[in-house]
Amino acid sequence: MVEARVRVIYGDTDQMGVVYHANYFRYFEFARGEYFRARGGSYRELERDGLMLPVVEATASYRSPARYEDVLLVRTLVSEVKRVSLTFTYEIFREGGSDIPLVTGRTVHACVSREGKPTRLPEAIVRMLQEAP
């Protein structure tokens, strides 16, 4: 598991002063990048090698709102690896808040070539994603 911190900016909130629901997917994306970096890799390297990991499914369950200036902890892990796909799961907590997540979610990613054809995940990438940081 990798933990990323992100501060809620004013532009992330709606008229009610809470984080707009779609912005949690941006936090998931940020945390995925941090997950790769914590393990010595990056999306950029994958793309340089001709591979992409588009999101093919995304879900979020909202339990409690985050607000402007909150520092959020996004806990991320790879929960499933298949031949041509992988799944990230997320829990978002308010720093200094309770042990109950504000939001939980998951994204499923297909491994595809630049041409969009399904491609087997390279073994080196699978090892990198599953090793402890």
Report, as residue numbers or ranges, the catalytic residues: 14
Q: Decide: 76 and 2 in contact? Cβ < 8 Å.
A: yes
Of 49, 55, 52, give the one whose Cα is nearest residue 117.
52
* Eight-class DSSP state of 121: P
Of 40, 44, 43, 32, give the one whose Cα is nearest residue 78.
32
How far, in Å, CA of 83 to CA of 34, rounded?
Answer: 23
CA geometry: angle 92, 24, 47, nearest 5 deg? 105
Secondary structure class of 89 (helix, strand, coil) = strand
How far, in Å, CA of 98 to CA of 16, rounded?
Answer: 22
